[in-house]
Structure 1
């Protein structure tokens, strides 16, 4: 059976006196509701069950049985005098009555559900010889305390202990972003060869006269060479202003995804509108308005899905964080906003989401660090389609330059400066290619290095904030502070090690006294006497007193 949840077992009423049969409310009953409320806030309302949640008209035994068997943990809340109340209830039960507290614990032990005693105040875990035979194993269970003056600390320890037994809500399976693979060298050689053959082949197909071919190839050489020079100059400028661009990138990472989407879509639509309305005189105004409306409708329709994808809460965190500086910075900002938005205390799911995202950032930053350590040739081989574009362009310049010189000479040209001019074009193209590669490489390596150096401090800051704003899923502390009277050891977190926890027999356990476990869960339950059946399987309606 797929179990998930916490079932609270507690005694709600007890007999007022040995001589009277009327019941009185146990003082700790309202405390159980406070514990349940705190557990719901951490684990989720649907995870914690208290009998007060039963629907009106529901069949009490059937609902309790179903809820109990769907649970992973039963937290038995034991108040001072719990053992005496249990004995007193058993002695007064009529043949057609049963004790819910007793029955629920018995079913949990038989079904293999973890039983977690929670001791209130000065309550003690009862010894085996004072428990009914079907629930004697509860004396071996690990226990926790809720004590006067340490409510917050004890509840945090209780929640930490319960997390070992209560299944967490699912978070995505983390996928570490793959590093770009190195492309084979032959692909770049093929791109260069294609660049050489493309202009030469086009001129041979389109022009018959060598002189016209030379003019066409010369013009093509000038155009492509100018593109490469401008490209190299632009990359040099970007490298020089890299610090300012990095500041812009950092600021852009803090903008919400839906706002980015709105800006991009709005700018696209506005650009189309301006270009269409003021530069195109082919159509009349009515036709242009209709086309503009179609463009806007397409942009909004396609953009709405994009915006909604980022606005959907369950989409965060995503299973994979792409290895880019902007993504890492944006994710850091998302975690900071996530923590701030749910302070002062995050739930378990909110904490797990933040922890998942922080681990994801750490893994992606490690990938960025390895990418930043790559050399120029490794980077160029992995920067697809950057490498292909460079190889194609320089091939086009060289092919056009050499082809223009050859066709010039074949067409009867005799100027001595034609071959050196073609050689100069080839050298300029090579220098431009080097500049494009160098400045792009230096800029990406610098930007990645900046982010890689900044991330550890930011991760430490967010981890500290998360630790102070949530209950950490840490293990139990082992600092011994005092010895219990029954021979067990009480630790700093309020748990006891007792004789039965070491596996003694019943006789040994009875001799050594009450058994105390080390850690436990807290789950309040109910106490009611019902008629018509037993062990949650009865068909009569239980009485609530």
Structure 2
């Protein structure tokens, strides 16, 4: 994929001579480099300076921008350099190299036309560093392509990590506790107002619903290890495979389950209408969620690695880990060293993972109240209002009150322990896998193509 950087990161330093073949090699090299690094990334004066442009400011500006300077050396290059020095004339070739060394640029000798190392031995003091630089030979397009590939290991494309999708806090918002308090007051008022109409039977049904909720939460808590292990397997899958194997089956089973519940609680005359409406609404919601999931995943792939969103979720952290694993696996298979740009991106992804697992483990240590108000303020308000409305009429017997208190208390406690266990388990998993990914990244970073 071609990249179009803002600055000309590769500067070609050369001396015009009588052999036209040498300049054709330069044009071919420039074309190959632009294919790899993008248009505007390579500076060659006769092709990069506008007609009538002031030569010295252009040269100084592009040298400042450059990351890599290619010193093209042909037979007779040293003799021409010393001749210019003896005559005292202006020599931009020498000045460009001197400025490059003073500014700490990467300078690479490139030999054309059969030039040898003797061409850059015993140079003036301001160019003495050139004789210690490893050079490369340029005799055809194959050499130009090999040089371009090697330069990708040193070329910095100016990577700047894409900002996160959201930046929130894992602490309760200021109005969360007031929302729950208002829900309790509203529940008490609703329970008192509806007491003559609803009576003890409705309160009993409410307690049964609380018991059913408690049973569902208990089952989820009991299956937490299996569910977490299954998610560990499916998260590396592509968006399409994940939804085909996980999202669609779960959504279909949910629709069937809800339909059977409605069938038992709805007037048979209205059953077909209710089920059709419910299925239509639920299908629409599932489709919207799937499309949104695809859009977000594609966005994270296009801008990889995006900064980790906060509060950190176990699913997002695992997904980021899978993306890094996939990138490293690609380069492990092709047997080449990581390019500079990819090394920088992998380093950013690893740092994000390490930061994310620390935040995830920290959130697992929150108190029950902080967790409920921060992660589930609306649900907490609904449960509090529901419980208050059930208890307010005073129509329940002591056994019913005890069952309601036990069901809600156990459901909340198990939910709290479930999320804490998942956060800690995923944090341990990510920590171990991140250490492995870092080791693999270090191996690739040291590898030579």
Local SS of the residue matching 1:77: strand
Aligned length: 402
Verify: 1:127 aligned to 2:124, yes or no. yes
8 Å CA contact retained: 1:179, 1:371 = yes
Separation in structure 2 between the aligned mates of residue 224 and residue 178 of structure 1, nearest angstrom: 34
Post-superposition Cα deviations, 1:391-428, rounded to whole Å, max 9, x if no partner, equal 2232122114x0x3xxxxxxxxxxxxxxxx52222221
Aligned to 1:362: 354
Aligned to 2:430: 455
User: 1:190 Cα deviation (Å)?
Assistant: 3.3
Residue of structure 2 aligned with 1:85, choices 76, 80, 84:
80
Separation in structure 2 between the aligned mates of residue 53 and residue 269 of structure 1, nearest angstrom: 65
Aligned to 1:442: 417
User: 1:23 Cα deviation (Å)?
Assistant: 4.0
Aligned to 1:8: 12
User: 1:171 Cα deviation (Å)?
Assistant: 2.2
Verify: 1:399 aligned to 2:392, yes or no. yes
Verify: 1:310 aligned to 2:297, yes or no. yes
Local SS of the residue matching 2:366: coil
Equivalent positions of 1:56-67 (< 5 A) are none
Local SS of the residue matching 1:145: coil
Q: Could you tell me which runs of 5 or more consecutive residues in structure 2 were left unpaired when the two chains were aligned.
A: 1-5, 111-116, 138-142
User: 1:7 Cα deviation (Å)?
Assistant: 0.9
Instruction: Quickly say closer, same or farther: Cα 1:191–1:466, change in 2 above 3 A.
Output: same
- The TM-score with structure 1 as length reference comes to 0.58
Verify: 1:256 aligned to 2:238, yes or no. yes
Verify: 1:340 aligned to 2:343, yes or no. no
Local SS of the residue matching 1:321: coil
Separation in structure 1 between the aligned mates of residue 25 and residue 444 of structure 2, nearest angstrom: 27
Instruction: Quickly say closer, same or farther: Cα 1:302–1:116, change in 2 above 3 A.
Output: closer
Separation in structure 2 between the aligned mates of residue 361 and residue 352 of structure 1, nearest angstrom: 14
Which structure has the larger Rg? 1
- The TM-score with structure 2 as length reference comes to 0.69
User: 1:201 Cα deviation (Å)?
Assistant: 1.3
Instruction: Quickly say closer, same or farther: Cα 1:33–1:423, change in 2 above 3 A.
Output: same
Post-superposition Cα deviations, 1:276-335, rounded to whole Å, max 9, x if no partner, equal xxx9998999xx9xx97x998998788656534533543433333341111111111111
User: 1:369 Cα deviation (Å)?
Assistant: 0.8
Q: Between Structure 1 and Structure 2, which shows a larger proportion of strand residues?
A: 1
Q: Between Structure 1 and Structure 2, which shows a larger proportion of helix residues?
A: 2
Local SS of the residue matching 1:425: helix
8 Å CA contact retained: 2:305, 2:348 = yes
Separation in structure 2 between the aligned mates of residue 456 and residue 302 of structure 1, nearest angstrom: 30
The one of the two structures with greater contact order (alpha-carbon pairs below 8 A, sep at least 6) is: 1
Post-superposition Cα deviations, 1:189-212, rounded to whole Å, max 9, x if no partner, equal 433332222122134xxx5xxxxx
Aligned to 1:377: 369
Separation in structure 2 between the aligned mates of residue 283 and residue 434 of structure 1, nearest angstrom: 35
Post-superposition Cα deviations, 1:456-486, rounded to whole Å, max 9, x if no partner, equal 22112212222333479xxxxxxxxxxxxxx
User: 1:361 Cα deviation (Å)?
Assistant: 1.7
Local SS of the residue matching 2:134: strand
Q: Over aligned residue pairs, what C-alpha RMSD do you find?
A: 5.1
Separation in structure 1 between the aligned mates of residue 234 and residue 34 of structure 2, nearest angstrom: 39
Equivalent positions of 1:533-544 (< 5 A) are none
Local SS of the residue matching 1:460: helix
Instruction: Quickly say closer, same or farther: Cα 1:189–1:306, change in 2 above 3 A.
Output: closer
Aligned to 2:140: none
User: 1:29 Cα deviation (Å)?
Assistant: 9.7
